[in-house]
Homo-oligomer: A and B are copies of this chain.
Amino acid sequence: MVEASSFKGRDVVSMLDFNREEIDFILDKASEMKPLAERGSDLLKGRILATLFFEPSTRTRLSFEAAMHRLGGGVIGFAQPGVSSIAKGESFEDTIRTVENYADVIVVRHPEEDSAVRAAKVAEIPVINAGSGPWEHPTQALLDLHTIREAKGRIDGLNIALVGDLLYGRTVHSLAFALANYDVKLYLVSPPQLKMRRDVLEKVEGRLNYVETGDLKSILPELDVLYVTRVQRERFPRPEDYEAVKDAYRIDREMLRDAREDLIVMHPLPRVTEIATDVDETPHAWYFRQVRHGLYVRMALLALVLGAL
| Cross-chain contact B88 with A270 (CB below 8 angstroms) | yes
Which B residues are in CB contact (< 8 Å) with A102? 62-63, 65-66, 291, 295
| Cross-chain contact A70 with B46 (CB below 8 angstroms) | yes
Q: Is A50 an interface residue (CB 8 A)?
A: yes
Q: Is A78 an interface residue (CB 8 A)?
A: yes
Q: Given A79-B78, A97-B288, verify A85-B41 contact (CB < 8 Å).
A: no
In the complex, A75→B75 CA distance in Å?
9
| Cross-chain contact B56 with A46 (CB below 8 angstroms) | no
The smallest C-beta distance from A151 to any residue of chain B, in angstroms, reads 16
The smallest C-beta distance from A202 to any residue of chain B, in angstroms, reads 29
| Cross-chain contact A74 with B85 (CB below 8 angstroms) | no
| Cross-chain contact B85 with A58 (CB below 8 angstroms) | yes
Chain B residue nearest to A87 (CB atoms) is B56
| Cross-chain contact B40 with A270 (CB below 8 angstroms) | no
Q: Given A58-B78, A62-B99, A101-B288, verify A272-B70 contact (CB < 8 Å).
A: no
| Cross-chain contact A83 with B79 (CB below 8 angstroms) | yes
In the complex, A49→B53 CA distance in Å?
21
CB contact list, A38-92 vs B, under 8 A: 39-41, 45-48, 50, 53, 56-59, 62-63, 65-66, 69-70, 72, 74-80, 82-90
Report whether over half of chain A's contact residues are helix, strand or loop; otherwise say mixed.
mixed
| Cross-chain contact B269 with A90 (CB below 8 angstroms) | yes
Q: Is A183 an interface residue (CB 8 A)?
A: no
Q: Is A149 an interface residue (CB 8 A)?
A: no
Which B residues are in CB contact (< 8 Å) with A39? 46
Q: Is A292 an interface residue (CB 8 A)?
A: yes
The smallest C-beta distance from A251 to any residue of chain B, in angstroms, reads 15
Which B residues are in CB contact (< 8 Å) with A62? 50, 76-78, 99, 102
In the complex, A86→B292 CA distance in Å?
19
Which B residues are in CB contact (< 8 Å) with A72? 46
| Cross-chain contact A47 with B58 (CB below 8 angstroms) | no
Chain B residue nearest to A233 (CB atoms) is B89
| Cross-chain contact A58 with B98 (CB below 8 angstroms) | yes
| Cross-chain contact A80 with B82 (CB below 8 angstroms) | yes
Instruction: State which of B76, B82, B291 has its C-beta within 8 Å of the C-beta of A65.
Output: B76
User: Which 4 A-B residue pairings sit nearest by Cβ, starting from the closest?
Assistant: A40-B46, A69-B74, A90-B270, A66-B102
Between-chain CB contacts (< 8 Å), 25 pairs = A39-B46, A46-B70, A48-B69, A50-B62, A53-B83, A56-B84, A57-B85, A58-B84, A58-B95, A59-B98, A65-B102, A66-B76, A66-B102, A66-B103, A79-B83, A80-B82, A80-B83, A85-B270, A88-B230, A88-B270, A88-B272, A90-B271, A97-B291, A98-B269, A98-B270
